Amino acid sequence: MNRAEGRRRQADRAMGGVPQRPWGQVERQMPPVRIISDDQVSAIHLAALDVLGRQGLRVLHAPARALYASAGAEVVDETVRLDAGLVAERLKTVPAGFTLEARNPARNLRIGGGWCVYGAVGGPAYVMCNDKGRRDGTFAEMCDYMRLIQGLNVIHQEGGGPFEPLDLPANTRHLDIYHAQIRLLDKSWQTQTLGHARTMDGIEMAAIMLGTTPEGLCHRPVLLGIINTNSPLQLDVPMAEGLIALAAHGQVNVITPFTLAGAMAPVTLAGALVLQHAEAIAGIVLTQIVRPGVPVMYGGFTSNVDMRSGAPAFGTPEYAKAAQASGQLARHIGVPFRSSNVTAANEVDAQAAYESQMALWGALTGGAHLLNHAAGWLHGGLTASFEKLILDAEMLQMMDAYFEPMATDPGALALDAIREAGAGGHFFGTAHTMERYETAFHTPMLSNWDNHPNWLSKGSIDARTRANSLWKELLAAQVDPALDPAVDEALHAYVTRRKAEGGAPMN
């Protein structure tokens, strides 16, 4: 049994009989696309340094300002200015790559080089499915969504809570989400970063999960948290608190400016990238001041708005171009790169697919090391969709199959088979085909390749409706991964205590 066959057999054992690729990351062999020239990368980088050195960033959190000042930044009132020398010095300590631990060591993840992590949707306000439309989320439904994330092999990481469980109190909701992430998944999960308390709760519970203490995590990256600067050029108190707490404990900040060109960023793509780059650098530098050498990522989220309505647009040509240019900027400063799978579509229709495809190709050929919101994102991030989760999982599987290297050994070149089939012959029955047909090609879970009369006779079921059946089939077959009862009990005790203390303060 060769390696490909082993994979396929593993895939055949996937839950629910739905064909899936096996768990794993595929290393991209190709160099990332360079959508802009090296000179253009330099021009954007230098302009960002100009912004940081002359205009500076407004930092609303006094301890963060003190940290910047301690490293030699110029701090006047709330404005922090970073000169080029300070930036260059602090970027030197950023690791080019790292491994992120999961509850199950077999689920540990590589970040850097040709490796990418696919993290599921995180943070939407709403949940949606074909049957019930868009609505507020509940904890029970959130748990089901997490079970699907656990069950879908192609998704490497849970994204920090797929949607808000609005039936739980806001100040303690994060505790129940963390507990669910650990119970329902043996995969990596993202933590929440809104303020010190929520961030520390994630760190404490991750430590319990791994049988250690927060201090014991300091050299073991296990949590990844998204930090959004308040573009333009502002870092607020909750985000600064989250950033500092994560960095202080050796955990991974993903510094992601929210630079929508034409709104919170210049209307030109290059200008939006200058702003993104300046803000990302400012955040990355702060992590290295807090703890030199702590892993950190460069988040690229530049997109554009519809200038007629002001509506944010995602998965546009501009988005794809910005993603690839962001990868170049991140590599220019030696920081692993985060991008996303995004769409502004309202339904799981052709638009959702083509906008997400634009984002996927931009991000993955642009060298992303974390694809955030990789599966489930709809409505410009306001909604987590059950059917979009399936659509995205299919598209991610296709990208992974695309990135699998092509074999060109003598067996693959198939000269014997070409001779055996002969002119005008066929290959169905050749020995070459018989040996390989079961594992030769990507097997889809969502695509339907029936001919049209057959498709009609089976009820004309489109992709959106097939996705609905698929997630139900997968969910029905999903078995939660075993968790050490002692760990679960310790988590329960932690959550109970923190709830009694009032959870996180409401800002």
Q: Which is nearer to a copy of itself, 59 or 252 (CB)?
A: 59
The answer to whether residues 342 and 373 touch, using CB atoms and an 8 Å cutoff, is yes
Q: Which is nearer to a copy of itself, 255 or 313 (CB)?
A: 313
The answer to whether residues 159 and 121 touch, using CB atoms and an 8 Å cutoff, is yes
Q: Which is nearer to a copy of itself, 49 or 491 (CB)?
A: 49
Closest approach of a copy of itself to the CB of residue 214, in Å: 33
3-class DSSP state for residue 263?
Answer: coil
Q: Which is nearer to a copy of itself, 435 or 488 (CB)?
A: 435
Closest approach of a copy of itself to the CB of residue 13, in Å: 18
The answer to whether residues 57 and 33 touch, using CB atoms and an 8 Å cutoff, is no
DSSP assignment of 356-407: HHHHHHHHHHTT-SEEET-SSEEGGGTEEEHHHHHHHHHHHHHHHHHHSPPP
Q: Which is nearer to a copy of itself, 171 or 357 (CB)?
A: 357
The pair of three-digit structure tokens given for residue 445, joined into one six-digit string = 């879970």
The pair of three-digit structure tokens given for residue 403, joined into one six-digit string = 């990135």
Q: Which is nearer to a copy of itself, 180 or 313 (CB)?
A: 313
Q: Which is nearer to a copy of itself, 28 or 107 (CB)?
A: 28
Q: Which is nearer to a copy of itself, 245 or 359 (CB)?
A: 359
* CA pair distance 463, 485, nearest whole angstrom: 41
Cβ of 219: how many Cβ atoms within 10 Å?
10
* Type of residue found at 92: K
Closest approach of a copy of itself to the CB of residue 426, in Å: 6
The answer to whether residues 202 and 232 touch, using CB atoms and an 8 Å cutoff, is no
Dihedral sign computed on CA atoms, order 476, 481, 484, 490:
negative
* Tokens 């990332």 found at: 32
Closest approach of a copy of itself to the CB of residue 408, in Å: 4
Q: Is the peptide bond before 295 cis (omega within 30 degrees of 0)?
A: no
Residue 221's alpha-carbon distances to 213, 252, 294, 373, in angstroms, are: 13, 7, 9, 20
Closest approach of a copy of itself to the CB of residue 413, in Å: 5
Closest approach of a copy of itself to the CB of residue 72, in Å: 21
Q: Which is nearer to a copy of itself, 172 or 365 (CB)?
A: 365
* CA pair distance 55, 176, nearest whole angstrom: 42
Closest approach of a copy of itself to the CB of residue 393, in Å: 12
Closest approach of a copy of itself to the CB of residue 418, in Å: 6
Closest approach of a copy of itself to the CB of residue 269, in Å: 5
DSSP assignment of 443-502: PPSS-----HHHHHHTT---HHHHHHHHHHHHHHH--PPP--HHHHHHHHHHHHHHHHTT
